[in-house]
Amino acid sequence: MREDIIQCEEIVKEEEVLQCGLKPAIEVCFTSVLELDRTRSIPNWVWLLCSICTFLGHTLDGTDGKQARRMGVSGPTGELFDHGLDSWSTVPLTLTIFSIFGQGEFSLSPVRLLLVLISVQAVFIVSHWEKYNTGILFLPWNYDLSQYDNFYEMCLPLYPSLILFSISILWALYSPGKIIERDPRLYLYTMGTVFSNIACKLIIAQMCNTRAELFNLCLAVYSIVAITSLSGFLSAYQELIFLRLAVAVIISAHLHFGICVVRQLCEHFKISAFSLHYLQHSSKHYNE
C-alpha cells in the first residue's frame, strides 16, 4: 500500500509540474525566437519543442481529472487548481499566435490579438457562468431563461468580465501612448491575470453555491490605471511605468489569493497540496 501511494504521489507531482510549467514554457520559447535577427530562420528544434509542449500540456490537462478520480483524491481543490490554471493559461496560449507572426505588414495587430484573447476568455467564463446557474459544466446552444426569476442575479458573474473586456478595448484603442503597441505582451498578460482572478472567484462561488461577488480588487486596480492613462495626464513613458507597477500588484494579489484559498481548502478537507501522504495515514487508521 505504501509503495502504491508513493508511486501515485510521484505521478501527481509530475503532472502538476508539467501542467503548470509547460504552457508558459511555450511562450518563453516563442518570445526568445522573436529576439533573433529577422534574417535568420527559426531553428527546427524550437518548433519541435513547442509542439511537444503543446501536446503534453493539453494531454495532461485532459487526464489529470481521471487520474485524480482513479486514486480517489478528486475534489474542489483539484477543480480550482485545474480550471484556475486554465483561466490563466489563456494568455500564453493566445500569445503564441502573436509570437509566431510578430508585428509587420502581414502579421496580426496587437488590438486584433486582444480581441482573439477576449473571444477565448468569453467562452471560458460563459461555461463557468452556466455551471454557476445550472450546476452543470456544459455549453448548450441556448438557455431556458424562464427558470430564472432575477435577470440581474443570473448575469451577476458576467459583469466583472464585461467591465474588464470593455476597459481593455477602450484602453487599447484610445491610449495616448499606444500602450498595447509599446508592450503588447505586458498589456495582455496584465489583462489576462485580472481575468484569471475573476474566473477563480466565480469557480469558488459555483463550487460553494454562494453568491458571486461584483467587486474585484484586481479589476479595480486595472481600471484605475486604465482610466488614469486615458485621461491624458500621463506621458507614454509614465503610462508604461504605471502598467508595470499594476502588473506587479495584480500578480501579487492574484497569487496571494490563490495560495490562501488552497491552504484554507486543504485545512478544511484535511488534505495536503502536492502530496498524498494523508492517504497513507487514512489507510493506517482504517486498518486499525
- State residue 137's pLDDT score: 62
- State residue 36's pLDDT score: 47
The parts of the chain modelled with pLDDT lower than 70 are 1-42, 102-104, 137-149, 278-288
- State residue 13's pLDDT score: 41
The C-alpha cell 529576439 sits at: 35
Dihedral class, residue 142 (left if φ above 0, else alpha if ψ from -120 to 50, else beta): beta
- In whole angstroms, give the CA distance from residue 77 to residue 94: 26
The overall pTM is greater than 0.85? no
Give 101-148 pLDDT, tens digit per residue: 766 677 778 898 899 999 999 988 988 888 888 777 655 445 555 556
Q: Give pairs for 155-161: CB < 8 Å, separation 24+.
A: 156/211, 156/212, 156/214, 157/125, 157/128, 157/129, 157/132, 157/202, 157/205, 157/212, 158/125, 158/126, 158/129, 159/214, 160/198, 160/214, 160/216, 160/219, 161/121, 161/122, 161/125, 161/195, 161/198, 161/199
**Residue (of 68, 69, 67, 62) closest to 83 by Cα position:** 62
Those residues whose C-beta lies under 8 Å from the C-beta of residue 245, and which sit 6 or more positions away, are 225
- State residue 226's pLDDT score: 96
Scanning 135-183, the segments in alpha helix (DSSP H) are: 151-155, 159-174, 179-182
Give 73-111 pLDDT, tens digit per residue: 777 777 777 788 888 888 887 877 777 776 667 777 889
